[in-house]
């Protein structure tokens, strides 16, 4: 990247002076009026104790990649992005606080002798940091956030980088600014931690949405704690869903067709129609009595087998003879192998049945395995008895039954969450489609309520498998990649949760 010379910097200063002056005048008025330093978080440096400002534990388990989100922020803009990154990565948030807080006068952009101005002009300036980032050595990836000050990172970021040993750690800078890009502000930091692995940084506008932040993190390809809590939705287009990489290493499309209650020719034709509309994932189960028709539909579509991802499930009455049941499923589907097999519900003999699926993985009959209708109470006890971590859990999830704690608990283990009854299930779709909030959001985007609900799931990092035998609905359900719900709209739908289950399991 090009290095900006002093003169160029001065030009940037001049160009930005007028705009920023206005912003700063507003900030100064409020800060000077109360004579408060900029604290950034609402926790002022005076009330934040040494220990509060140290790096405390992360909930990630020992083998996980540990993420620290360290940031400096005077007016809260960078802090909001840092919190979004923390949410998306499951990392630990750490605020870099100055020993001597910055007052509004210190930040005066137009005063050549203001503290910020002098520090930025002095190559040697290293403002002291309050407290210590003890425990920093245990982090593998450090997101490092700052506001742009005259095209560069504030000097306190230099202090931070020189204070610790970042050898072998990955550092990902991010910044906020009025209008400047990240420019050379990140590359100029490299020499301060030359043995770190630096990743090119990114500038965020104030108030960037959580999905923008998640998409950026996904694009970095970092392994952050194994959590699978967001998808790269911008890689999708209507008729072509993006994929998520399962912990088995296999890619799986994030929109699929559910086939519960689709029988005989209706099933064959719905599967073929879905594949022709761009679907590449089909969900069936022994209990749906249509595995044979799903296989036929795949063949009828003309789409090559290897492009299609097929899930089926073993029902509890099969657990006692799971090996035989797997053979029967393979035979009925007649697709060579099963992409993903789930246990339909917890039940007698489920651990043994899971072990039979593990054996089938080793034999190349099944590629990935997982569970359905497993909740927090059951999962850890189950995992302790098996060898292959479940790749996916399929549970009831819709706006009236959200199970958000279950979603984040499982995602935190690197398990992909998938929603059954995403539209509420047959007999309940009307209630959801006519819900005032959902209908209003749909109208605002010129989309159907079904599309809004599916998009809401996807933005939460939850895979969807809407069921339909109507070719128009099928097309509609995979046309959810040309709009985005705002954080406010996501929150409005999140607020609809009633803990209302539409089926018993
Ligand atoms: N693991 C489990 O225990 C479990 C339990 C239940 C379901 N599942 C799986 O989850 C899948 C999804 O559940 P589901 O199919 O029962 O319920 P769903 O997807 O919530 O809703 C299906 C209903 O929505 C309608 N629909 C679909 N798309 C629509 C659209 N764009 N506009 C208007 N209406 C639309 C369908 O009618 P049309 O046919 O007219 O489009 C059908 O009546 C199942 O098919 C099955 O694969 C798993
Ligand atoms: C001293 C100072 C210098 C700044 N220089 C620039 C600049 O060169 N380019 C720019 O776009 N914004 C500039 N800004 C605006 C900040 O980068 C922007 O408001 C930032 O989002 C503030 O982040 P914070 O709220 O986390 O402190 C400057 C602000 C201050 C206080």
Pocket of ligand 2 (CB under 6 A): 12, 16, 20, 73-79, 107, 109, 116, 147-151, 176-180, 206
Higher pLDDT, 99 or 138: 99
At 61, give phi and psi (nearest 5°). Answer: -85, 170
- Per-residue pLDDT of 286-308, as tens digits, reads 999 999 999 999 999 999 999 99
The CATH class of 241-424+461-469 is: alpha beta
Residue 476 has pLDDT above 50, yes or no: yes
Q: For residue 22, name the pLDDT band (cuts at 50, 70, 90).
A: very low
**Span 73-85, average pLDDT:** 96
- The pLDDT assigned to 215 comes to 84
393 Cα–ligand 1 center, Å: 17
Residues 6+ apart with CB under 8 A from 290: 259, 262, 263, 264, 267, 284
Domain boundaries, the chain: 6-220, 241-424+461-469
Least confident of 166-175, 257-266, 297-306, 404-413: 404-413
Residue from 269, 347, 375, 423 whose mutation best tests the ligand 1 pocket (most atoms within 8 A of CB): 423
426 Cα–ligand 1 center, Å: 6
Atom of ligand 1 nearest to the CA of 394: 1
% of the chain surpassing 70 pLDDT? 86
Give nearest CA residue, ligand 1 atom 47: 258
**Span 78-101, average pLDDT:** 92
Give nearest CA residue, ligand 1 atom 11: 258
- The pLDDT assigned to 211 comes to 82
Contact by Cβ (8 Å): 166, 198: no
- The pLDDT assigned to 353 comes to 98
468 Cα–ligand 1 center, Å: 6
Ligand nearest to the CA of 453: 1
**Span 69-74, average pLDDT:** 97
Q: For residue 111, name the pLDDT band (cuts at 50, 70, 90).
A: very high
d(Cα 156, Cα 160) in Å, to the nearest integer? 6
Q: Of 288, 354, 400, 421, which is the active-site residue? A: 288
Contact by Cβ (8 Å): 172, 142: yes
Residue from 177, 202, 207 whose mutation best tests the ligand 2 pocket (most atoms within 8 A of CB): 177
d(Cα 441, Cα 438) in Å, to the nearest integer? 5
d(Cα 293, Cα 263) in Å, to the nearest integer? 8
Query: How far apart, in Å, do the first and last CA atoms of the chain sit?
Result: 56
d(Cα 52, Cα 296) in Å, to the nearest integer? 61
- Per-residue pLDDT of 49-68, as tens digits, reads 333 455 544 333 444 578 99
- The pLDDT assigned to 380 comes to 87
Pocket of ligand 1 (CB under 6 A): 258-260, 283, 344, 372-373, 394, 420-426, 429, 448, 450, 465-470, 473, 476-477, 505
Distances (CA, A) of 185 to 124, 173, 300: 16, 9, 56
Contact by Cβ (8 Å): 382, 374: yes
- Per-residue pLDDT of 209-229, as tens digits, reads 988 898 898 788 775 555 677
Give nearest CA residue, ligand 1 atom 22: 467
Give residue for tokens 């789409």.
Answer: 303
Residue 35 has pLDDT above 90, yes or no: no
45 Cα–ligand 2 center, Å: 20
Residue from 20, 113, 115 whose mutation best tests the ligand 2 pocket (most atoms within 8 A of CB): 20
- The pLDDT assigned to 505 comes to 77
Taking alpha carbons only, the member of 67, 201, 207 closest to residue 145 is 201
Fold annotation for 6-220: Rossmann fold (3.40.50)
For the question of residue 288 being annotated catalytic, the response is yes
149 Cα–ligand 2 center, Å: 5
Ligand nearest to the CA of 157: 2
Taking alpha carbons only, the member of 469, 485, 41, 482 closest to residue 234 is 482
d(Cα 432, Cα 424) in Å, to the nearest integer? 7
d(Cα 102, Cα 105) in Å, to the nearest integer? 8
Query: What does the mean pLDDT of the chain come to?
Result: 87
Contact by Cβ (8 Å): 114, 107: yes
């Amino acid at each position: 990247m090009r290095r900006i010379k002093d003169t160029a910097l001065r030009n940037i200063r001049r160009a930005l002076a007028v705009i920023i002056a206005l912003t700063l005048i507003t900030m100064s008025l409020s800060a000077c009026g109360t004579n408060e330093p900029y604290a950034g978080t609402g926790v002022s440096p005076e009330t934040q104790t040494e220990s509060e400002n140290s790096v405390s534990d992360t909930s990630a388990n020992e083998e996980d990649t540990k993420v620290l989100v360290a940031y400096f922020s005077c007016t809260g803009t960078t802090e909001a992005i840092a919190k979004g990154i923390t949410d998306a990565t499951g990392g630990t948030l750490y605020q870099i606080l100055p020993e001597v807080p910055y007052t509004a006068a210190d930040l005066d952009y137009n005063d050549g002798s203001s503290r910020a101005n002098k520090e930025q002009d002095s190559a040697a300036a290293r403002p002291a940091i309050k407290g210590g980032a003890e425990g920093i050595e245990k982090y593998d990836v450090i997101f490092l956030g700052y506001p742009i000050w005259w095209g560069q990172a504030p000097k306190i970021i230099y202090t931070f980088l020189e204070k610790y040993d970042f050898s072998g750690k990955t550092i990902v800078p991010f910044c906020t600014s009025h209008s400047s890009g990240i420019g050379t502000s990140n590359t100029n930091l490299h020499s301060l931690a030359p043995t770190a692995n630096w990743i090119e940084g990114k500038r965020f506008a104030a108030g960037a949405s959580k999905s923008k932040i998640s998409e950026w993190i996904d694009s970095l390809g970092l392994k952050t704690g194994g959590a699978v809590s967001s998808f790269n939705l911008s890689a999708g287009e209507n008729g072509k869903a993006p994929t998520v990489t399962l912990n088995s290493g296999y890619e799986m499309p994030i929109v699929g067709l559910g086939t519960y209650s689709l029988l005989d020719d209706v099933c064959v034709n719905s599967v073929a129609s879905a594949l022709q509309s761009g679907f590449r994932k089909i969900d069936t189960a022994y209990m749906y009595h249509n595995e044979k028709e799903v296989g036929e539909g795949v063949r009828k579509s003309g789409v090559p087998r290897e492009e299609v991802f097929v899930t089926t499930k073993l029902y509890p009455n099969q657990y006692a003879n799971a090996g035989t049941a797997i053979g029967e499923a393979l035979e009925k589907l007649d697709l060579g192998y099963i992409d993903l097999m789930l246990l339909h519900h917890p039940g007698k003999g489920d651990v043994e049945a899971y072990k039979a699926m593990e054996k089938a993985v080793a034999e190349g009959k099944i590629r990935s395995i997982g569970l359905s209708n497993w909740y927090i109470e059951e999962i850890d006890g189950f995992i302790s008895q098996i060898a292959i971590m479940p790749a996916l859990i399929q549970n009831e999830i819709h706006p009236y039954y959200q199970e958000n704690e279950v979603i984040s608990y499982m995602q935190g283990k690197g398990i992909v969450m998938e929603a059954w009854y995403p539209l509420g299930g047959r007999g309940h779709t009307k209630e959801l489609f006519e819900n005032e909030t959902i209908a209003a959001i749909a109208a605002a985007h010129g989309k159907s309520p079904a599309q809004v609900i599916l998009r809401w799931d996807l933005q939460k990092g939850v895979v969807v498998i809407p069921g339909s035998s109507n070719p128009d609905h099928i097309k509609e359900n995979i046309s959810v990649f040309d709009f985005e719900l705002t954080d406010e709209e996501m929150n409005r739908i999140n607020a609809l949760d009633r803990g209302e289950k539409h089926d018993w399991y």
